[in-house]
Amino acid sequence: MHNEKTTIFIDGSSGTAGLRIYDRLAQRADIDLLTLPPELHHDIEAQRELLNRADIAFLCLPDAAAITAADLVENPDTVVLDTSTAHRTAPGWVYGFPELSPEREAAIRTAKRIAVPGCHASGFIALVYPLVAAGLLNKDALLSCYSLTGYSGGGKKMIADYESPDRPAHSKLDAPKSYGLSLAHKHLPEMQKISGLANPPAFVPVVCDYYSGMQVLVPFQPVWGGAEKVAAGLAEYYRDAATIKVHALNEPLPENGLYSNAMAGTDRMELYSTVNAAGDQMMLVSLFDNLGKGSSGAAVQCMNLMLGLPETQGLE
């Protein structure tokens, strides 16, 4: 990667994540973007050629296609950043969440294969990992988690459903929809493994009628170590983090609550913690954009680190 410009190929640039990465990189003078013409989208040889010509390839594809694409990369110098679920717990792949530890950030800087975290998983891991690492939360803790997200996380078909001109004035899409009720959501393996937990959390996501933005809520009962210690632990952990801000315990909320789209359009994450009067129940909340720090912003942040650039370059 010693050219003046870094050659980037976004494989799957028509999907939501791919489009957002493209938007962030198209304006940068230090990036040369390769694109696959629409008529060649199903041409494996054309895909192989661009994957191996690129300094960095972003895979913005469904899981099976991402596995196929990763296998097409033969150039030892090509770095692959996969935004799908396919490689997040796979051996040989680095989990792309640099704020979790200096060791992880260092690994991202030199890695050839990086798995970009899932959106729901990012919000959960940001809250839980530091507490497990600091011994404020036992590895065998049984946690629950729920997550509110905009419909953009569901991809092109879901976006089309919500934004259809034929959508009735009063439809089921007006109301929040819980899903993943079989408790087997595809983000659970990374939520458990990366956080260092012995058990997966009981996790239910809820999709709502707004485009983007997410909040992930993790209730704490009992409050291991005490609420002040937990809140201080989070604040200390992310003291120098470029994209994560920790609010003070029981800080007055901007509108007596948190709107899930408050961070839409940003590449940052904000963490909140509240405790009840008795001190025996606590709520931890992460607020961010599922398409920003929950996806495309995180991918570009990892790319910046690998290029030796400020990690927030080109990000909001």
The residues that are catalytic are 119
The whole-angstrom distance between residue 139's C-alpha and the CA centroid of its chain comes to 22
CA distances from 80 to 116, 118, 128, 253 (A): 10, 16, 27, 40
Distance separating alpha carbons of residues 161 and 122, to the nearest angstrom: 26
Strand duo 202-208 + 144-150: pairing: parallel
CA dihedral 127, 133, 137, 142 (to 10 degrees): 70
SS3 (DSSP) at 59: strand
Distance separating alpha carbons of residues 71 and 85, to the nearest angstrom: 16
- The dihedrals phi and psi of 105, each to the nearest 5 degrees, come to -60, -40
Task: Check: CB of residue 113 under 8 Å from CB of residue 92.
Answer: yes
Task: Check: CB of residue 208 under 8 Å from CB of residue 150.
Answer: yes
Distance separating alpha carbons of residues 245 and 173, to the nearest angstrom: 33
Name the residue type at position 220.
F
How is residue 282 annotated by DSSP? E
How is residue 93 annotated by DSSP? -
- The dihedrals phi and psi of 218, each to the nearest 5 degrees, come to -125, 105
Task: Check: CB of residue 10 under 8 Å from CB of residue 33.
Answer: yes
Task: Check: CB of residue 301 under 8 Å from CB of residue 292.
Answer: no
